[in-house]
A and B are shown apart, each in its own frame.
Chain A
Amino acid sequence: MKHLITATGLVLATQAVAETPVLNVYTYDSFATEWGPGPAIEEGFEAQCGCDLKWVTAGDGAALLSRLRLEGEGTEADVVLGLDTNLTAAARDTGLFAPQTVSADYALPIAWSDDTFVPFDWGYFAFVGNAEDPKPANFRALADSDRRVVIQDPRSSTPGLGLLLWIKAAYGDEAPQVWADLKDNIVTVTPGWSEAYGMFLDGEADLVLSYTTSPAYHVIAEEDASKVALPFDEGHYLQVEVAGAVAGSDQPELAQAFLAYLASDAAQSVIPTTNWMYPAVTPEGGLPDGFTDLVTPAKSLLVPEGDVPAMRDAALEEWRAALSQ
């Protein structure tokens, strides 16, 4: 008898689930973990949509795009969240995305008008070091100094690619020389951000390629103000993370609703202390404390998305050549 009741309950529950529309959101792994924004955003959106939000994750933004390309038209994704401005051109070229209709008062350092992608957070790449140490003010000063730097591989890491485009955007044809000068400062090139940041914390390097927002984590989560980002006077390369609705989605309204929710205050106020990036829209309560006294670059650098593919291939070759000497 007891089993019968359980079984009936299961059947009913399954039916209930079956009737709830499911929204598949593809994102990168760290977004959906318990420390990322995922859980709060899922809870908030499900409370208003009467739907079941399901995260489907890939390793990082680049892997996310690869996954989408592999699946093509047959993808079950309704929304893709976590591409950045270096990937949007390739993402757009797939033709898999639907136009978006979200309008919001974006607090981005650049004007945002994009009919496909909704920005949800942004940040500047920067070198992070210890407060009491010397702080070179640009790449040339860094190259002349004895500071030990750990960076990431542009072929396998988002910040790694960001640095490549940063130096290219700042120095153009002189980029190879800058890399050559930096060579003796670079301790090693790690496959991903985590390994590099871990090495920096362990004292293997004086500086690590990360974000201007990284010190906020240490201030807010650890009450440790000893980590700082170095302002560079060439300007800092900008990363804007975006989401887009998939054209072939069987839940187009839900997808658009989710994009709108992503730009809403409920989601945006979660972003800073979970994804450790600037929210795309300033929350009503303002930025959290640790975010207000961060380094703000004098100049924002960003390669137009259409120029990224050609430029990154050339920059990668220069990088490889300079550092392989």
Chain B
Amino acid sequence: MARSPVAVILGGAVALAVAALILGPLAAVLWHAGGAGWPSPSDWSAVRFTVWQAVLSAVLSGALAIPVARALARRRFLGRGVMILALGAPFILPVVAAIAGLLALFGRNGVLNSALAAFGLPGIEIFGLHGVLLAHVFFNLPLAVRLLLEGWRAIPAERFRLAAQLDMPPGAVFRLIEWPMLRQRMPGVLAVVFAICLSSFAVVLILGGGPAATTIELAIYQAFSFDFDLGRAATLAVLQLIMVTVAALLALRLARTDGMGAGLDRPMAIWTDRPGLRVQDAAVLILTALFIAAPMVLLVIQGLPALVQMPAVVWSAALTSLAVALASTGIAVLAGLALALPRRGLYDSIAMMTLAASPLVLGTGLFLLIRPFAFPGNHILAITAVVNAAAALPFVLRSLAPDLHATEDGFGRLADSLDLRGWARLRWLILPRLRRPLGFAAGLAAALSMGDLGVIALFPPPDTATLPLQIYRLMGAYRMEAAAAASLLLVALSFGLFAVFDRIGRHADT
């Protein structure tokens, strides 16, 4: 299939469709506006803040990931596998739930401040730039750790053996063996986190503390909803698209083996050790585990009591969300496969664009495009599934690419010499070899779609809802406890979907 004309054409068609999905709505908004608008001074300050917080978030996540990944790479302990698995959790945690969890930990009435108060210590404040950074580190530190962990695993064990044989002190091991790896990998990690944080919206607004913490997406919102200046909204959306795409391309180019980190279960051998190192690693791992797990545990404690008396609409919304997530997963995985198979940089880059699409402009543009033919509200679930799938594409593609390359490198010639082409090559070579990353990617796509409010908030259908929309509706109707319980259900379903798909990938047919 790879390099075959059919694959190239199919991949090209999907790439074209993705580009059309992102750029078409933007063009529609521009056309409706009658041209681009020029951003206001406050828009520019929003652009500056967006970039600034993304830079800080990337640097912090990257720097903190070094000791964590290092400790994880060289220690065997009970629960290591569980911890690596749990590191994937924040990434697929719905934003609304994550913020609630972080507030339960770091908020004024949170566990941490209660503990500080019990010791007569002054409390800490989560709102402000540091709160935004804290949340972004919560989301992205685990991702950075997993990416760096791969780097550590890629260092040949012989080098550490040699270092042990020469009795190198830990400092020298770091400088001579680990640092060169970090220098190779870190730019890619930083660019990935930077790109993700550029398009962060709710986290920045809720924890930012005031109008100084305004992102481009809110500037778009203002231009669109407050000033009804579509031209300016479109210009800002283009700006966001360019910035995120450039960052993503940079990430793509810099990240050497750029997998999402499926299956990192084996610890590396370690021969150089010191008691001090052991203490340091233990402290780092315990703190990280607490930081990642505590908000989620608190979420469970908060939501559990109301879980029993949840309104029936929550359950039906959960079913709707499941259906949307499954459809979205199917689309994302098929499209991701079609984009990955031809192994062309251009197709990769186009998929990265979806990371940067402004939901508001995307939704509005889709509305303008669909409106002449149909009523968007009537098809909102289908539209949501497609848009969610597009949003998951970059991650699906990153999950599939490394194993696809490895398969083609390892078995491509043999398959060629056996005349294994087209469907047969896909059926008998690629799909079986990609089962694990396909399961992982499907789990990721399903969880991300499950947790994302997405475009449905722009055209909320009166007679149905996805679970995230239902949560907002419960909150809007003063039913905060039911909303907390529904959030817990959302988290459980997101993780459940991920776990099921990931398991299918790991265990099918072996």
By a beta-carbon cutoff of 8 Å, the part of chain A in contact with chain B is 29-30, 32-36, 38, 55-59, 62-63, 65-67, 69-71, 74, 76, 90, 148, 153-156, 183, 186-191, 193-195, 197-199, 201-205, 214, 217-218, 221, 276, 316-317, 319-320, 323-324
Contacts and interface: CB of A to CB of B under 8 A. Distances in A.
From A67, A71, A188, A319, residue with most partner B Cβ within 10 Å: A188
Contacts of A193: 476
Interface of B is mostly: helix
A26 to B, nearest CB: 10
Nearest to B473: A33
Contacts of A63: 225, 458
B461 interface: yes
B498 interface: no
From B210, B311, B457, B458, residue with most partner A Cβ within 10 Å: B210
A114 to B, nearest CB: 22
Contact of B42 (A153, A197, A320): A320
B177 to A, nearest CB: 45
Contacts of B209: 186-189
A218 B478 CA distance: 9
Given A189-B209, A191-B218, A319-B211, A58 B459 contact: yes
B458 A59 contact: yes
A74 B372 CA distance: 9
B228 interface: yes
Contact of B462 (A38, A189, A276): A38
A323 B212 contact: yes
A319 B202 CA distance: 21
Nearest to A148: B108
Contacts of B32: 70
B106 to A, nearest CB: 10
Given A202-B107, A204-B108, A155 B218 contact: yes
A76 B372 CA distance: 11
Nearest to A27: B462
A194 to B, nearest CB: 4
Given A155-B225, A191-B221, 14 more contacts: A30-B473, A35-B473, A57-B377, A57-B459, A57-B462, A59-B458, A62-B226, A155-B222, A155-B226, A190-B206, A191-B205, A191-B218, A194-B475, A203-B109
Given A70-B32, A70-B367, A59 B460 contact: yes
A33 B462 contact: yes
Interface in B368-390: 368, 371, 375, 377
A67 B375 CA distance: 12
A188 B127 contact: yes
Nearest to A186: B210
A-B interface, 4 closest residue pairs, ranked by CB to CB distance from nearest: A194-B475, A203-B109, A35-B477, A155-B222
Nearest to A316: B226
A54 B78 CA distance: 58
